[in-house]
A and B are shown apart, each in its own frame.
Chain A
Amino acid sequence: MTVVAVDVAKSRAKRATRRRNSALRQFFRNPKALAGVVLFGMFLVVAVFAPAIAPYNPTSTAFGMLQPPSHAHWFGTTSLGQDVFSQFIWGTRTTLIVGVGAGLLSTVIAILIGVTAGYVGGIVDSILNALCNIFLVMPGLALLIIIESYVHNSTPYMNGLIIALTGWAWGARVMRSMALTIASRDYIAAARLSGMSTLRIIVFEIVPNMTSVIASNVMYACLAAVLAESGLAYLGFENVASTSWGTMLYWATQNSALMSGAWWWFVPPGLGIALLGTSFALMNFGIDQVTNPRLRTSRRRRQVDKLLRELRANQSEVHSDGRDARSGASD
């Protein structure tokens, strides 16, 4: 029995690797996904080399006040005489660390809760599922705001932590339904019969088969975390001495950049958030293209269209059988 289970596992693993490699190739061949990767890569480079790229100290107030963009100050200066470009560069680092960190952490929590609920089932599932549904319907930002009202002067990293701890519900729901379908497969039964512990089954048999769902969830969670962090920082719930895109927007509105026409102050950080978020969304789209059964249906639809055209052309009998395409679409 064990031998069979191991053999099954081995051949599955081999097939899985092959599938994954071709999936990666497919991912990079998708122009939208590639654009997302390039865009994200640019922000990553800026974040890593921020000290080298930023021309000035972001907190230095040594320059003229509210100067429009010029050769010396590409994005102009603030009303305190700070260089907006340097702030933007350093802000990239903070926002990226917090966004990606919170996205990864909330995905880990989502996996823990979702997979446990889906695989273990029974009362554990009922409790975890109820918890997940409650977090899902609770207005997230309002929850974050009242938590912040008790945590004074939160650092960006603290905010990231709070965002991750409150923002895992959607991912957990997806993980749970995925784990539910995987748990009912034969090879899991084989693993269980061979005496594998529940934890081992979850870590080595279930989670590796959810790679695409996890990757997609990371992208989604990072996008949500970047937006939540910038929103909180904009409202002033982040140590206002820190340099992030959100705090830049906070200071811009506090010092009425709008009313002094200083568009160079509030346009770059918002555009940065939007572009970083778009890069996550584009990569997510690419993952979807490769793995989502829905879009497989659209491929089937194309086949159907072709068939229908032929049907109309020669009025002959054409029989289409698309059972295979539907097998994965029952989520």
Chain B
Amino acid sequence: MRYFLNRFGFLVLSLWAAITLNFILPRLMPGNPAQAMIAKQAGNINPAALKAIEEQLGLSNGPLWQQYFQYLGNLLTGHWGASFQYFPTPVVSIIATSLPWTIALLGVVTIIAVVVGTLIGILIAWRRGGTADNVIPVATMFGQAIPTFWLGLILIYFFGFVHHWFPLAHGYGDDVTPGLNGPFLASAIYHSILPAVVVFVGSISGWIVGMRNNMITTLGEDYVVFAEAKGVPKRRLILSYAARNALLPQLTSVAIALSSIIGGQILIEQVFSYPGIGYGLTNAVASEDYPLIQGMFLIIAVTALVINFIVDMLYGRLDPRVRRRGRRE
């Protein structure tokens, strides 16, 4: 319980930090660019909505603390303002249409990458000192250094432009209607294969190296050595004795890697014009749609923080030592 409260406290603290950052940034910048944008929009937006947007972006004259509490209140009640670009569509409904795309791609691919990467890591540790053990670390270093968005460009060029095997962009074809119908889902999956491959390649090397290192550490532990000395078969030794314990640090890595995975996905969505949150964010920045920028950043931050919290909870369940100490080191 103490562990739960501790992690929950951190979730609240980090959420508050993200929200406050969102509040301070537009007010901190000299010559607020949002102001110029609002002046441009003055004709197309009704005065009341404009005033609300001004308040949200720090252009009203009230004292700062008052603005702050108003801002917090609006956030909590779901009043995230309206987008400039798609006026009067509320920011919240734009987010609601793009979030499922991002979560689906991010979730499915990350889970596959973690599982496959971990298995490969175990396999390499099994055959310590073999060719794979020498080649794969170097290959993964190169894999980690490749900019994922560039990998996306290369795949689009090769599989999309040269060979026409996969669509070049977008989340689904023009000939289907979004919704829970077969043709749409098939089209969406077909469109998401290339982006998924890029996200997968971009993150798998970290899991392989992480698991390999964890395995090598655990294989050196006394209890593993003892088990080996008393003649436990190799398969059992690797899987039941070493891998089970080497898995725990891997879970911590999920939490740490998350922020870079999400960052990578923003770029990949942009490359593929994939209709998720990342693409929405970069588009909103390109068209200086400040209410939408704020909303998109907030939802990305909230997603990252909540997943991090869930991982922490899982960790606490799996490792009783952590729960007792009340904090993850």
**Stretch of A13-21, A47-55, A144-152 with 4 or more beta carbons under 8 angstroms from chain B:** A144-152
A278→B161 contact, CB < 8 A: no
Contact with B along A260-276 (1 / 0, CB 8 A): 01010011011001111
In the complex, the answer to whether A138 meets B17 with C-beta atoms within 8 Å is yes
- Residues from chain A with a CB closer than 8 A to the CB of B29 are 150-151
273-301 of chain B: CB within 8 A of chain A: 278, 281-282, 285-286, 288, 290, 293-294, 296-297, 300-301
Residues of the A chain whose Cβ atoms lie less than 8 Å from the Cβ of B222: 322
Q: Is A42 interfacial (CB 8 A cutoff)?
A: no
- CB–CB B262/A274 < 8 A: no
Contact B308 A141 (CB under 8 A): no
Interface size of B in residues (CB-CB distance below 8 Å): 70
- Of A32, A142, A259, the residue contacting B138 (CB under 8 A) is A32
List residues 122-181 of chain A with CB under 8 A from any CB of chain B: 130, 133-134, 136-143, 145-152, 170, 177
- A304 in the interface, Cβ–Cβ < 8 Å? yes
A134 and B13 in contact (CB under 8 A), knowing A32-B138, A281-B144, A297-B216? yes
Provide the bound-state CA to CA distance between A75 and B228, in Å.
57
Question: Which listed residue, A136, A142, A263, A325, touches B301 by the CB 8 Å rule?
Answer: A142
A274, B220: Cβ atoms closer than 8 Å: no
- A101 interfacial contact with B, CB 8 Å: no
Is B259 touching A139 in the complex (CB atoms < 8 A)? yes
Interface range on chain A: under 10, 10 to 19, 20 to 34, or 35 or more?
35 or more
Q: Which of A266, A282, A322 contacts B150 (CB 8 A)?
A: A266
Residue B189 at the A interface, CB < 8 A?
no
- Known contacts A32-B138, A282-B141: A231-B267 contact under CB 8 Å: yes
A234 within 8 A of B: yes
CA distance A266 to B151 in the complex (A): 10
**Interface pair A258/B216, CB less than 8 Å apart:** no
CA distance A149 to B150 in the complex (A): 22
Residues of chain B within 8 A (CB-CB) of A325 are 220
Chain B residues within 8 Å of A281, by CB: 141-142, 144-145
Q: List 7 A-B contacts (CB under 8 A).
A: A137-B14, A137-B304, A149-B285, A258-B161, A261-B157, A270-B150, A297-B220
Residues of A at the B interface (CB closer than 8 Å) are 32, 130, 133-134, 136-143, 145-152, 170, 177, 223, 227-228, 230-231, 234-237, 249, 252-253, 258-259, 261, 263, 266-267, 269-270, 273-278, 280-282, 285, 294-295, 297-298, 300-301, 304, 308, 311, 320, 322, 325, 329
